[in-house]
Amino acid sequence: MERSPNNQVELDIKHNAAARRFEATVDKLLARCDYRMHGNTMMLVHTEVPPQLEGRGIASMLVRAAFDHAKESGMDVLPVCSYVGAWTRQHPDVEPMLAR
């Protein structure tokens, strides 16, 4: 279980490799961060959190889970999704993992 930075929600984030996404169900609603692979690069292409769940840090936790997975797997990451691009600018610790 991951706890959001503002301690508002705990998430059980799953890597759904078949659907190519990191996902969590909160209040029976699915939040997700979708990716595509290109060689050894994980392209994060879409992040979606239902409007009822916004403001709880869920998208940030999903993106962090994707970066953690990429790091453990020796992958680099290409932010395609605008949210992920903005997130990486606020998390300089992931900068070495960004695809060049």
**Contact partners, residue 72, CB within 8 Å, separation at least 6:** none
Cα separation, 64 vs 84, in Å, equals: 10
Residue 4 structure tokens: 């959001």
What is the arithmetic mean of pLDDT over 9-15? 88
Residue 17, helix vs strand vs coil: coil
Identify the structural domains of the chain with CATH numbers, from first to last. 2-97 (3.40.630.30)
What are the pLDDT digits (tens) for 15-25? Answer: 999 999 999 99
Task: Determine if the pTM surpasses 0.95.
Answer: no
Task: Report the pLDDT value the prediction gives residue 6, as an integer from 0 to 100.
Answer: 52
pLDDT tens for each residue of 45-95: 999 999 999 999 999 999 999 999 999 999 999 999 999 999 999 999 999
Tokens read off for 47 = 């992040």
